[in-house]
């Protein structure tokens, strides 16, 4: 049995994670956190998740959660990230980060923490998107700059960051395939007299509406043809299952920064 703590248990992802941990034979819920000013503090995590009583009281205390668990899973918001990382490092507890929209300072904190504990950080925990990134890198390398790349994403109306972390990650895959830096070529949503499309640009567009769980398309448009690679998530359980797979994996690792390629065994790292 691996003891898991869910940070952000009141969120859409957090509730799904609590439900799946409760249903898993090899995992047990050690702790679950909500915001320290949440009205849910003291209530039962299972009741909040809608899966019946689990006898785990919700707290606003990531340090206590890190001390109680063998692995932490953080699907909160960027403002909570540094406190959650500090709690993981202080307790020496492996951590899986699902939060997106993390800025450069947050990413530095992730790198620092990964020197102390095993840390998995992925913009998208679905196996399909992990594989899509590989396919996109291969397509961008094979087709080169003659094919214009535009990345579109669609998400539910509540999503706060844009473009999605997954869209950015797909842009990184394009850049890697082309052997360039994404920040030198990214163009975010266009408006007005923007002029001709610069050669080699990697464009991003974000759509928001309804209950869309997450859709991403990478279009590679050449003269006379275009290729579109699309992933559609129909349930957020796919991200939660991937995050739980990452948690089981991280619990057995040495300190270091890992991603879903490592978890799925797609990276050629030296065995440790």
Q: Which residues bind ligand NAD (CB under 6 A)?
A: 7-8, 10-14, 33-35, 75-77, 80, 98-101, 122-125, 236, 239
Choose among 259, 115, 94: nearest CA to 267.
Answer: 259
Provide, rounded to whole angstroms, the least separation between the CB of residue 263 and ligand NAD. 12
Q: Is 268 exposed, middle or buried (0-12, 13-18, 19+ CB in 10 A)?
A: exposed
User: DSSP H helical segments within the chain, as ranges?
Assistant: 12-23, 45-49, 62-68, 78-91, 104-114, 127-143, 165-178, 237-250, 260-263
On whether 98 is known to bind a ligand per the annotation, the reply is: yes
On whether 8 is known to bind a ligand per the annotation, the reply is: yes
Half-sphere exposure (Cβ direction) of 271: Cα atoms closer than 13 Å: 0
Q: Closest CB to ligand NAD among 63 and 229?
A: 63
Q: Closest CB to ligand NAD among 39 and 198?
A: 39
Q: Which residue among the candidates 159, 185, 216, 231 is catalytic per the annotation?
A: 159
Q: Closest CB to ligand NAD among 7 and 149?
A: 7
Q: Which residue among the candidates 111, 155, 185, 216 is catalytic per the annotation?
A: 155
Provide, rounded to whole angstroms, the least separation between the CB of residue 1 and ligand NAD. 24
Q: What is the CA radius of gyration of the chain?
A: 19
Q: Closest CB to ligand NAD among 33 and 217?
A: 33
* Closest residue to bound ligand NAD by CB: 11
Determine the Cα–Cα distance for residues 109 and 240; give it in Å rounded to an integer: 23
Got the DSSP string for 121-178? Answer: E-S---HHHHHHHHHHHHHHHHHGGGSEEEEEEEE-TT--SSS-HHHHHHHHHHHHHH
Provide, rounded to whole angstroms, the least separation between the CB of residue 141 and ligand NAD. 25
Question: CB of 264 within 8 A of CB of 130?
Answer: yes
Provide, rounded to whole angstroms, the least separation between the CB of residue 234 and ligand NAD. 13
Determine the Cα–Cα distance for residues 94 and 70; give it in Å rounded to an integer: 7
On whether 13 is known to bind a ligand per the annotation, the reply is: yes
On whether 105 is known to bind a ligand per the annotation, the reply is: no
Provide, rounded to whole angstroms, the least separation between the CB of residue 213 and ligand NAD. 8
Question: CB of 121 within 8 A of CB of 185?
Answer: no
Q: Closest CB to ligand NAD among 120 and 174?
A: 120
Determine the Cα–Cα distance for residues 129 and 261; give it in Å rounded to an integer: 10
Determine the Cα–Cα distance for residues 58 and 33; give it in Å rounded to an integer: 5
Active-site annotation holds for 155: yes
On whether 28 is known to bind a ligand per the annotation, the reply is: no
Active-site annotation holds for 159: yes
On whether 166 is known to bind a ligand per the annotation, the reply is: yes
Residue numbers belonging to the annotated binding site: 8-13, 35, 98-100, 122-125, 156, 165-166
Which residues are marked as active site?
155, 159
Residue numbers belonging to the annotated binding site for NAD(+): 8-13, 98-100, 122-125
Residue numbers belonging to the annotated binding site for NADP(+): 35
């Amino acid at each position: 049995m691996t003891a898991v703590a869910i940070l952000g248990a009141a969120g859409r992802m957090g509730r799904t994670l609590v439900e799946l941990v409760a249903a898993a034979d090899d995992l047990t819920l050690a702790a679950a956190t909500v915001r320290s000013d949440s009205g849910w503090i003291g209530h039962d995590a299972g009741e909040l998740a809608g899966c019946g009583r689990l006898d785990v009281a919700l707290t606003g205390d990531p340090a206590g959660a890190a001390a109680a668990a063998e692995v932490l899973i953080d699907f909160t918001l960027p403002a909570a990230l540094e406190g959650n990382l500090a709690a993981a490092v202080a307790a020496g507890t492996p951590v899986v980060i699902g939060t997106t929209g993390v800025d450069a300072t947050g990413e530095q904190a992730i790198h620092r923490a990964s020197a102390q504990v095993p840390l998995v950080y992925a913009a998208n925990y679905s196996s399909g998107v992990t594989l899509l990134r590989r396919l996109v890198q291969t397509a961008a390398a094979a087709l080169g700059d003659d094919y214009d790349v535009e990345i579109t994403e669609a998400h539910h109306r509540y999503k706060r960051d844009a473009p999605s972390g997954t869209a950015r990650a797909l842009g990184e895959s394009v850049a890697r395939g082309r052997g360039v830096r994404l920040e030198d070529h990214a163009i975010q949503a266009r408006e007005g007299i923007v002029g001709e499309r610069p050669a080699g640009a990697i464009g991003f567009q974000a759509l928001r509406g309804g209950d869309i769980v997450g859709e991403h398309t990478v279009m590679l448009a050449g003269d006379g043809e275009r290729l579109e690679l699309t992933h559609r998530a129909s349930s957020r359980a796919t991200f939660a299952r991937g995050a739980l797979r990452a948690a089981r994996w991280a619990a057995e690792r040495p300190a270091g920064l890992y991603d879903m390629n490592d978890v799925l065994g797609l990276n050629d790292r030296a065995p440790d």
